Structure 1
Amino acid sequence: MNAPLLSPLRFDIQSLVQAMAHSHASDALRCQLSPQQWEVLGGYIQPFSMQQGQTLIEQGAVDQTLYFVESGTLSVHYEDDKGRVRLAMVGAGSVIGEGAFFSRLPRSASVQATNACKVWCLTALRFRELANRHSPIALELSMALGGVLAKRFYNRPKRVAVT
């Protein structure tokens, strides 16, 4: 007897757009892109799924990848030199990794999936390609990410979410 195969996860940029549009989080990404511009951006970002407990970002790692959260929840853990841990939660419609994406500094916190998640990633190299070929989209994305950074820095508990 053959067991039924699980259907593979399907990714569609419009699902990410809907997650962004319906997010009530104060630090949700508010990108003012047209549907056609989202489709273009979708060609530059790579979707993947995560299982509960899977690590997305390690504190101290050096990489400039930006992550868009389509579904699920991620926990952000920051451990200081005295062993104290601070925590923030990031959900659907938000981004994570914007701090290192812009600063090129090591990651300031670790990020793990608290449940099954759908995430999209944008590397610095792909962002530069986007900026060269579709500068209005890259500019709008940069401005929206700046807004996320500002909101997180202003909200003390959310500061830890700047990775």
Structure 2
Amino acid sequence: MSIQNLSRAIAENTSSDAFALTLNVQQWETLVGYLQPIETSVGDVLIEQGTPDRSVFFIESGAISVHRVSSKEVMKLAVLPPGSVVGEGSFFSRQPHPANVVVTGAGRVWRLNAIRFAELSNRQPNMALEVAMALGAVLAKRMAHRSKRVAVT
């Protein structure tokens, strides 16, 4: 499966917390071997609040909503466009996800789980470092913005 659309979505994302991963064509073709493409439908839950999964999802197309559920309310935290990433907080912290991530517009995401990232780290350490640094930059940008801080997933 081609990763061209994902690389284009990432390159075209101009949001303040954009996932700025810059790879050449050969590197993207290598990275695709570590990712799982997922066709999404409206209502699909990518991340469930309270779960310990360390997967990161790269949004190729569609729309994603991040919201937190409490005993009193459901609070919408963010709507993420193509080229964005979710799951970065738990990827680094190894803590349960603080919010739900739900598909609000059908499309495709690419999943990188912790096991596949460890394999990437062993086989392609420079590329794994680039991915980790780009994820860390998203986390730092979201934490620096008070309104986006709550949307760290």
* TM category, shorter: over 0.9
More strand by share: 2
The answer to whether the 8 A contact 1:88-1:157 is kept is: no
Q: Of 85, 92, 95, which residue of structure 1 is paired with 2:75? A: 85
Deviation (angstroms), 1:80:
4.3
1:1-163 equivalent positions in 2, closer than 5 A: 11-80=1-70, 83=73, 85-163=75-153
**How far does the alpha carbon of each residue in 1:72-96 deviate from its partner, in whole angstroms, 9 at most, with x for none?**
1100001346546242111100100
Question: Highest CA radius of gyration, 1 or 2?
Answer: 1
- Secondary structure of 2:120's counterpart equals helix
Q: Distance in 2 between matches of 1:33 and 1:84?
A: 37
What stretches of structure 1 move > 4 A for 4+ residues in a row? none
How much does 1:161 deviate?
2.3
* Unaligned residue ranges in structure 2 (runs of 5+): none
Any idea what SS the aligned residue of 1:85 has? strand
CA-atom RMSD in angstroms: 1.4
Percent pairwise identity = 52
Distance (whole Å) between structure 2 residues aligned to residue 76 and residue 119 of structure 1 = 15
CA contact (8 A) 2:40 2:103 kept: yes
> Does the Cα contact within 8 Å between 1:57 and 1:111 map onto a contact in 2?
yes
User: Which structure 1 residue ranges, 5 or more long, are not aligned?
Assistant: 1-10
Q: How many residues align?
A: 153
